[in-house]
């Protein structure tokens, strides 16, 4: 087990704080990350069931790419996004979805030199009945959240927004990300705060001793 002295953190509180800050700055840059948004569209078939309804997505294409998504390919073959069916169970005006893994498969993508499948895994959710949320030709999607997974790692959490056009049975959707803090970032921040607190307490004790003298 590495000790603080071995890591160079035991020489002084000032040196320790600088070392912790270095961990915060360097660690995130070494790991894969994902930020930005991607816009999708396609056909959406809706099947009513005894307990709710099922969404079936087809002919899905990526229309817009922003941030890190701009460097990814979604144009043909195995890189075209595919959706799992999404089942809704409705009761007393509310609908629920179970977690779906994966909900969207973006195929083989290369991020930071690693090639693997990029997916969006959907969280379980509860919301006001989607079928009753609009009366015009377009109905907004419910608030749905999930996480982007790549090579066994969660790169970012995200949420989807969009709508379904009744007369053409088509959908438009935007998936946007929110960064997940790296474990080393959290640890480094905790070390910095901890050492900062120790440094403040040491100065306070020193000033108290000076006043007593």
Buried b (16+ CB within 10 A) or exposed e, 21-48: eebbeebeeeeebbbbbbbbbbebeeee
Q: Could you give the number of structural domains in the chain?
A: 1
30-77 pLDDT per residue, tens: 467 899 999 999 999 999 999 999 999 999 999 999 999 999 998 766
Question: Domain range holding 149?
Answer: 36-179
Residue 21 domain flag: no
For residues 85 and 119, the answer to whether their CB atoms sit within 8 Å is no
For residues 83 and 104, the answer to whether their CB atoms sit within 8 Å is yes
Q: Is 26 a residue whose pLDDT tops 70?
A: no
Q: Tokens 């474990």 belong to which residue? A: 183
74-102 pLDDT per residue, tens: 876 666 899 999 999 998 878 999 999 99
Q: Which helix (H) or strand (E) holds 137?
A: none
Q: What percent of the chain has pLDDT over 90?
A: 51
Residue 184 domain flag: no
Residue 12 domain flag: no
Lookup: tokens for 147: 């996480």
161-192 pLDDT per residue, tens: 999 998 899 999 999 998 666 554 444 445 44
User: Which of 14-18, 94-98, 103-107, 117-121 shows the lowest per-residue confidence on average (mean pLDDT)?
Assistant: 14-18
Residue 123 domain flag: yes
Lookup: tokens for 49: 């069931």
pTM attached to this predicted model: 0.69
Phi-psi region of 8 (alpha: psi -120 to 50; beta: other; left: phi over 0): left
- At residue 34, the pLDDT reads 92
Q: Residue 102: is the preceding peptide bond cis (ω within 30°)?
A: yes
Lookup: tokens for 59: 């002919």
The sign of the CA dihedral 167, 168, 171, 172 is: negative
């Amino acid at each position: 087990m590495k000790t603080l002295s071995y890591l160079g953190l035991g020489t002084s509180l000032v040196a320790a704080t600088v070392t912790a800050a270095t961990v915060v700055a360097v660690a995130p840059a070494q790991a894969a990350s994902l930020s930005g948004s991607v816009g999708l569209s396609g056909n959406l078939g809706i099947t009513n069931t005894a307990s709710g309804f099922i969404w079936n997505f087809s002919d899905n294409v990526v229309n817009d790419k922003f941030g890190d998504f701009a460097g990814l390919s979604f144009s043909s073959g195995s890189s075209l996004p595919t959706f799992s069916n999404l089942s809704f169970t409705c009761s007393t005006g509310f609908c629920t979805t179970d977690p779906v893994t994966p909900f969207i498969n973006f195929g083989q993508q290369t991020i930071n030199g690693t090639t693997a499948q990029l997916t969006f895994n959907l969280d379980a959710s509860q919301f006001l009945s989607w079928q009753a949320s609009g009366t015009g030709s377009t109905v907004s999607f419910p608030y749905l959240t999930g996480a982007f997974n790549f090579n066994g790692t969660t790169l970012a959490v995200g949420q989807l927004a969009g709508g379904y056009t009744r007369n053409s049975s088509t959908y438009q959707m935007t998936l946007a990300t929110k960064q997940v803090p790296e474990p080393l970032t959290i640890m480094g921040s905790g070390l910095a705060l901890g050492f900062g607190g120790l440094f403040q307490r040491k100065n306070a004790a020193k000033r108290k001793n000076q006043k007593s003298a």
